[in-house]
């Protein structure tokens, strides 16, 4: 779940991290009132869930409350990358001595949170990491063991920061790490965390994303931020044509469940896979043996022939897919013969030879004898439970990659 900056700042504030005396409003006149309360130059920032605010004119500086009101009125009407602003944040213009970056992100490969710190804040951390890797400190920490401040200190020191800055940033990064753990975040970032002329530190911007599955545990926080259930996860993911096609097939028939994803997949092996974690295992097995999946899918819950057929057709109609691998771990309620009928029917309706198109069919379990009769009739290579998922995936890779070579 994504958060607007004004919400992320509130989360940061609740964690005991110093923030500026900002205000959020949806009304230009109120922006003036906030600027008057601040009593000095301000920054007016559009509240949108997209990047590129500065370039699009969504961040403006004001010297007076009247100017703040005028800028707020302009920004409230400004659409950025197709996003209407939720409101504006009116922030005091800070007297900054130096900007730093600090963030905690979930590292899916390490399966641990990763702390990042840099003395080059205010710009993308990816750019700093690429151009000035010696200015970035990194360190994983456990989600099981208590967090200790020394771990944050080590990461900051690794970025080359010493002295007072090191001492003052340590508790802030430690609180950010604790905030990450306490609130089921997958990203908690403060960029920049600014050192002011008086030597104090303050968060000038924040970016938070919560694990969607954590939303149930974090109802109190979500409610406290005034976020209604109707807002969901605020994901802006745009499904591909393939994903929409699979969703339509699934929605049209209550029997069974299918899912299809192809964001980030550009291979030539069409996958019809599923069953009790089988999809993840099989996708990994295909990749680790050199195969390039064209998609990810899940099929199960005893789908109809029409549903299995619909999924197979959607996969086969993807660019670059000549063959499909139909593989599941051992099925109990999903029927082998029904899935076999579905994938064969898809081939026939698309004018393809099932024996040539289905590289391997490895679904053992309920009604497999009947399924194997169907597969025999169409000359399709299949295997039973004596062939592991790994081996079946390997056979598919060999057959498909071999044919493509």
Partner 1 sequence: MRKDAIFIGIEVKDEFTSDPALGAKLNEVCPVNIYKGTAEGVDIVEENIDECVLCGLCYDASPDDAVSVLKLYSGGEPLR
Binding site for partner 1 (CB under 8 A): 304-306, 335, 337-338, 341, 344-345, 348, 370, 373-374, 377-378
CB of 392: closest distance to partner 1 in angstroms?
A: 22
Residue 316, helix vs strand vs coil: helix
Q: How far apart are alpha carbons 108 and 260 in whole angstroms? A: 21
Give the whole-angstrom CA distance, residue 32 versus residue 347.
Answer: 65
Nearer to partner 1 by Cβ, of 39 and 379: the residue is 379
Question: Least distance (Å) from partner 1 to the CB of residue 390?
Answer: 30
CB-nearer residue toward partner 1: 153 or 341 = 341
In the bound complex, what is the minimum distance in angstroms from residue 108's beta carbon to partner 1?
40
Smallest distance, partner 1 to C-beta of residue 300, A: 16
- Give the pairing type, strands 185-196 and 96-107: antiparallel
In the bound state with partner 1, the residue whose beta carbon lies nearer, of 28 and 340, is 340
Q: Closest approach of Cβ 335 to partner 1, in Å? A: 7
Our CB check for partner 1 shows the closer of 101 and 372 to be 372
**For residues 40-68, b (16+ Cβ closer than 10 Å) or e, as one string?**
ebbbbbbbbbeeebeebebbbebeebebb
Instruction: Identify the CA nearest to 339 among candidates 367, 359, 377.
Output: 367
Closest to 392 measured CA to CA, from 306, 272, 229, 304 = 272
Taking the complex as a whole, the smallest distance from the CB of residue 304 to partner 1 amounts, in Å, to 6
- For partner 1, the closer CB: 23 or 354: 354
Please report how close the Cβ of residue 378 comes to partner 1 at its closest, in angstroms. 8
Residue entry with tokens 């991290």:
17
Residue 371: how many CB atoms within 10 A of its CB?
23
Could you tell me the smallest distance in angstroms from the CB atom of residue 322 to partner 1?
A: 22
Phi, psi of 77 (to 5 degrees): -95, -5
Q: Report angle CA 136, 133, 140 to the nearest 5 degrees.
A: 45
Compute the distance between CA of residue 362 and CA of residue 274 in angstroms, rounded to an integer.
11
Closest separation between CB of residue 220 and partner 1, Å? Answer: 46
- In the bound state with partner 1, the residue whose beta carbon lies nearer, of 224 and 350, is 350
| The two structure tokens encoding residue 63 | 């010297």
Q: Which is nearer to partner 1, 252 or 280 (CB)?
A: 252
Neighbouring C-beta atoms of residue 228, cutoff 10 Å: 8
φ, ψ at 269 (rounded to 5°): -100, 110
The smaller minimum CB distance to partner 1, of residues 58 and 303, is found at: 303
Give the chain's length: 405
Spatial distance between the Cα atoms of 239 and 96, rounded to a whole number of angstroms = 42
**Antiparallel, parallel or unpaired: β 206-210 and 269-274:** unpaired
Cβ closest to partner 1, residue 24 vs residue 361: 361
């Amino acid at each position: 779940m994504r958060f607007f900056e004004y919400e992320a700042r509130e989360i940061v504030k609740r964690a005991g991290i110093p923030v500026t005396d900002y205000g959020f409003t949806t009304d230009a006149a109120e922006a003036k009132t906030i600027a008057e309360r601040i009593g000095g130059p301000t920054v007016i920032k559009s509240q949108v869930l997209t990047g590129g605010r500065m370039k699009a004119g969504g961040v403006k500086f004001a010297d007076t409350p009247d100017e703040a009101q005028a800028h707020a009125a302009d920004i409230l009407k400004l659409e950025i990358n197709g996003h209407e602003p939720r409101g504006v944040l009116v922030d005091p213009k800070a007297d900054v001595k130096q900007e730093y970056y600090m963030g905690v992100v979930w590292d899916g490969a390490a399966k641990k949170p990763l702390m990042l710190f840099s003395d080059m804040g205010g710009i993308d951390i990816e750019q700093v990491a690429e151009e000035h890797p010696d200015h970035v400190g990194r360190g994983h920490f456990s989600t099981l063991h208590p967090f200790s401040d020394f771990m944050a200190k080590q990461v900051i020191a690794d970025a080359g920061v010493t002295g007072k800055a090191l001492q003052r940033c340590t508790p802030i990064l430690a609180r950010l790490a604790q905030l990450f753990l306490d609130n089921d975040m997958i990203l908690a970032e403060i960029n920049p965390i600014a050192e002011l002329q008086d030597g104090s530190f303050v968060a000038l911007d924040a970016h938070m994303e919560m694990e969607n599955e954590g939303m149930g545990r974090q109802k109190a926080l979500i409610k406290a931020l005034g976020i209604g259930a109707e807002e969901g996860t605020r994901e802006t993911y745009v499904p591909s044509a393939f994903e929409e096609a699979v969703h339509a097939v699934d929605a049209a028939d209550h029997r069974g469940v299918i899912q299809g994803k192809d964001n980030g997949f550009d291979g030539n092996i069409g996958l019809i896979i599923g069953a009790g974690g089988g999809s993840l295992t099989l996708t990994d097995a295909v990749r680790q043996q050199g195969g390039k999946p064209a998609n990810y899918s899940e099929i199960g819950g005893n789908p109809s022939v029409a549903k299995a057929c619909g999924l197979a057709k959607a996969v086969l109609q993807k660019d670059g897919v000549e063959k499909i691998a139909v593989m599941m771990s051992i099925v109990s309620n999903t029927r082998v013969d029904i899935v076999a009928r579905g994938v064969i029917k898809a081939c026939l309706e698309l004018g393809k030879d099932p024996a040539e198109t289905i590289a391997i069919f490895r679904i053992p379990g309920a009604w497999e004898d009947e399924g194997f009769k169907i597969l025999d009739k169409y000359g399709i290579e299949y295997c039973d439970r004596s062939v592991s998922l790994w081996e079946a995936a390997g056979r598919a890779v060999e057959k498909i990659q071999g044919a493509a070579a």
